[in-house]
Amino acid sequence: MDRRSVIALFVIAIAALAVATILFIVRDNGSTEAAPSNTQPSPDTSSPTPDPIDSSSLPSSTTSSVVAADTTSTAATSAPPATLAPGATACSPYQSITTAGVVASPDLVEASGMAASRARPGVVWAHNDSRDGARVYAIGPNGEDLGGFEIAGASAFDWEDMAAGPGTEATASSLYFGDIGDNFSIRGGRITVYRAPEPDPTTLTGPIEDVVALEFIYPDGTYNAEALFVADDSIYIVTKDREEARVYRGDATPADSGVETLELVTVLALGDEVSGATTSWDGATIAFRGYNSVWMWHRDPGATIAETLATEPCDAPSPDEVQGEAIAFLADNSFSTVSEGRNPDLFVVPSES
């Protein structure tokens, strides 16, 4: 072996020794950081357990929106879906009938109208037919008696239905009481709907004040009506006739206090008398109540009430009641009914969507 070969081998050996030293140092440092001798190995992180959320750490805007969703008195909810699922109808979410309780109020004996409270979700309002004065009763989720309240300045010739919805203030709910019954055709086509700001029934101690009387007249005769609902800043009156149900529209917040001539919206042949009406809080569903039926229509965004009612309704479950006239959608899109009579059952048909 010549001198150059010896030098080359010596250089290679020195280089190999340097590489081995570097690798040892790197490996030793890495293992020390990954698993120090005085700690336990790190647990498996393939399925980590999330830390509990501290609500105090949420941004203030998030916290306030959660509170508002529970306590707001407005009727604002998500917009109705553009279309139904293939094969679905407005009635598809409703499959069963439950009994929430028994109406405990000793004074609500001829329930004719009903509306779900927007000021206190879970509570419903109801009123008697013609055997009572201008009074409304608050009912708890299981039928509890939360009191009866006078409607200041109102009279009750033949109250037949009521509704809850927006009023003159978009951020507040109003109650609408329909003095619209006319069994003997003696009103000359004139009817009255009373609008009042909705109070919280759990804190109300006196009559409901600031009541406005909205006066209407039919454009083409006189009719008996037992159904009323509110949508799009309008009041809709549905007449009671087995052959045809005529739907009329009037302003819910008119600019003046004169007598308004109602507008005929549509005429429906349902095969039964309409005794109540309601709309879901999101505006996606309209429901009419008959003594033996509940008809529902799905309303697409942008569709008018007339366009919606021109479509074929579906049949939702109808509780078996002695004389069912009252119906109201609840906040979760379930609907509730109650019959005339003393201490009737409070039925709820849950939404299973």
The amino acid occupying position 20 is A
At 83 the pLDDT is: 72
CATH 2.120.10 is right for the domain spanning 83-349: yes
pLDDT at 353 over 60: yes
Order the strands of the 314-316 sheet from edge to edge: 274-279, 285-290, 294-298, 314-316
Confidence of residue 298 (pLDDT cuts 50, 70, 90): very high
Yes or no: say if 318 and 91 are a contact pair by the CB < 8 Å rule.
no
At 82 the pLDDT is: 56
Give the residue from 99, 168, 137 showing the smallest Cα distance to 319: 99
Average pLDDT, the chain: 82
At 199 the pLDDT is: 95
At 186 the pLDDT is: 96
Q: What's the rounded mean pLDDT across residues 125-138? A: 94
Per DSSP, helices labelled H in the chain are 3-34, 60-71, 305-309
64-73, 93-102, 253-262, range with the lowest pLDDT: 64-73
pLDDT higher at 221 or 75: 221
Burial of 185 (0-12, 13-18, 19+ CB in 10 A): exposed
Yes or no: say if 175 and 198 are a contact pair by the CB < 8 Å rule.
yes
30-40 tens-digit pLDDT: 433 333 333 33
Confidence of residue 19 (pLDDT cuts 50, 70, 90): very low
pLDDT higher at 50 or 217: 217
pLDDT at 50 over 90: no
pLDDT at 16 over 60: no
Confidence of residue 77 (pLDDT cuts 50, 70, 90): very low
Beta bridge partners of 248: 237, 264
32-46, 106-120, 122-136, 150-164, range with the lowest pLDDT: 32-46
Give the residue from 276, 327, 325 showing the smallest Cα distance to 94: 327
Yes or no: say if 133 and 139 are a contact pair by the CB < 8 Å rule.
no
pTM of the predicted protein model? 0.78
Beta bridge partners of 250: 235
Order the strands of the 98-102 sheet from edge to edge: 98-102, 345-349, 335-339, 324-329
DSSP state of 113: E
321-338 tens-digit pLDDT: 989 899 999 999 999 999
At 96 the pLDDT is: 97
